[in-house]
Amino acid sequence: MTTQRVLVTGGSGFIAGHCILRLLEQGYRVRTTVRSLRKEQAVRAVLTDAGMVHGDALSFVAADLTADRGWAEAADGCDFVLHVASPVQPGKVANDDDVIVPARNGTLRVLRAARDGGVGRVVLTSAFHAVGFGHPHLGRAFTEDDWSVLDGPGVDAYGKSKILAERAAWDFVREEGGALELTTVLPVAVMGPVMGREVSGANHIVQRLLDGKIPGYPDMYVPIVDVRDVASAHVLAMTADGAAGQRFLLASSPSMAMKEIGALLKENLGASAKKVPTRTIPNFVVRAGAVFSPEFRTIAAELGFVKEISHEKARSVLGWTPRKSAEAVVAAGESMLRKSLVSA
């Protein structure tokens, strides 16, 4: 067991939970934040169910992205911070600022506490939403040099929150960060083994397919990365030479068509995937629905767009090698069935 301590924000979250497991496996001492310490027992139970080792090296502190209280205590004595916590409300929300403000201001709270506490490096969980949305079709692979168009088509409040929080983080470190180092990781759609009974991120696609709640497939392609590989990238980015001051896209390739995801579930899960659809939805139906539905509006902006995403930088600098997308899809489905998170 190393004496190095890592703060992971948002310990009840999907990606954060997998980061905690990875860190403990590698012998780090881990501190994590929850909005209330009343959640500690439940979070420990979820992590234990997921195979946590060295649970005595995990401690909790109460801190909320919307308030200053608790963050100095959380960062105190930590060598590294993985700032994973962020509000997640995909699609249409009543007020964009309900998502954007806590994401941006919460990131700045964490960075100030890290700087003041003498933390060496912060790894910030951004997202492909900050890179690959609102653009015309590029005709090339997206790289870390790209930024999403803030007011472009298909950029929802969550996407804006990721763009603005990451930009604010880079500005802070450049202007006020002192010796603090920053690295950002930008995963595409995150799938893989469910934590506890919460279905998060792109795993909702798998759940809705298995539940029969998606009637058919639009001409839409999903870039996927396994949550276990996202966790490993965070830990690699924490200490890798050359990672400070860098962004890293995290993706398996190639992107998968929605109908490929459905076919994969049917092939691997048998009768448990009987509700997974087989038909496609014509583009004109999606575009017509976009007039009335925010969800269809987001999909319509992406119809037929196969996004190529380069993870060469993560491979060369971090030594990161992701699983195939298919493994993440099947692992997500199997874990949901095991936990009875889909209807029979």
Q: Which residues are catalytic?
A: 162
Instruction: With CA atoms as reference, report the closest residue to 323 among 307, 308, 339, 311.
Output: 311
Are 174 and 104 in contact by the 8 Å Cβ rule? The answer is no
Supply φ then ψ for residue 101, to 5 degrees.
-65, -50
- The tokens for 284 are 């004109």
For 280, counting Cβ atoms within 10 Å of its Cβ (0-12 exposed, 13-18 middle, 19+ buried), the class is middle
| Peptide bond before residue 277 is cis, with ω within 30 degrees of 0 | no
Residues 6 or more apart whose CB falls under 8 angstroms from that of 95 comprise none
Residues in the chain: 344
d(CA 119, CA 79): 5
Strand, coil or helix: 62: strand
> Which tokens sit at 25?
């496996």
Instruction: List Cα–Cα distances, 218 to 274, 280, 286, 302, in angstroms.
Output: 19, 6, 7, 10
Q: What is the DSSP string of 114-173?
A: HHHTT-SEEEEE--GGGTSSSPPP-SS-B-TT----TTSTT--HHHHHHHHHHHHHHHHH
Give the whole-angstrom CA distance, residue 46 versus residue 18.
11
